[in-house]
Amino acid sequence: MKKLNLNRIEANREIVTENDRFKTVYFKFDEGKGLPNHKHNGFATIQVISGEVDMEFANGERIELKVGDFLPFDARIEHNVVAKEVSKVLVTIAKAPMIKNLKR
């Protein structure tokens, strides 16, 4: 195990950990910036470390997230993230299990 200090990350995007089950990515967004509409094959979480962001989902749901907020969500639904101010977030994406030898 290796301890990480997120305050020492200088990049705007950095994979902080990844394995065969999940990936965690650190993002720093300037005001008005973020991630365009996208989706993943599974579930995810977002945790706001600093600042404030809005998440909008293709189903019309919009959620405002502030410092300390943690949101687990179905990442198969198209979504985007926009920073309302300079913000830092951690996103964890669960990888869908591979199905081997599927019989029909």
Q: Decide if pLDDT at 103 tops 60.
A: no
pLDDT attached to residue 4: 87
- Residues 13-67 have pLDDT tens digits of 999 999 999 999 999 999 999 999 999 999 999 999 999 999 999 999 999 999 9
CA distances in angstroms from 100 to 17, 97, 103, listed in the order given? 25, 9, 9
Full set of structural domains in the chain with CATH: 12-94 (2.60.120.10)
Q: Flag the least confident range among 40-44, 76-80, 92-96.
A: 92-96
CA angle, corner 31, sides to 3 and 45, nearest 5? 45
Residues 51, 87 contacting (CB under 8 angstroms): yes
